[in-house]
């Protein structure tokens, strides 16, 4: 009985070693065939949207009085509270 378990264990160990070597070879081939990663991130360019030059006008609300005004204004026209204050 002990001899059967020992031989089965040896077979499983050999199969595990063969699989590990196969995986290591496949990974090394994949790295050499693929692009070389230097670890430095590359700059990604947004090609789906065109960027508009200038200021886009929107609507914001005053945090103090709740008045609605254009986003190009530096302060609320109603209570004169500065934006972002």
pLDDT tens column, 35-49: 555 666 666 665 565
CA atoms within 13 A on the CB side of 39: 0
Domain boundaries, the chain: 1-31, 55-85
- For the stretch 17-66, pLDDT in tens is 999 999 999 998 887 766 555 666 666 665 565 555 556 678 899 999 99
Task: Count CB neighbours of 81 within 10 A.
Answer: 14
Share of the chain above pLDDT 90, in %: 35
Our CA angle for 38, 44, 57, nearest 5°, is 155
Q: Give this prediction's pTM.
A: 0.36
Burial class (CB in 10 A: 0-12, 13-18, 19+), 54: exposed
């Amino acid at each position: 009985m002990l001899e059967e378990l020992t031989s089965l264990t040896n077979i499983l160990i050999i199969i595990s070693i063969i699989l590990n070597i196969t995986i290591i070879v496949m990974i090394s081939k994949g790295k050499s065939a693929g692009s070389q990663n230097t670890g430095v991130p590359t700059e990604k360019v947004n090609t789906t949207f065109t960027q508009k030059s200038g200021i886009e006008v929107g609507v914001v609300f005053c945090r103090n009085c709740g008045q609605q005004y254009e986003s190009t204004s530096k302060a609320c026209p109603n209570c004169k509270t500065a934006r972002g204050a």
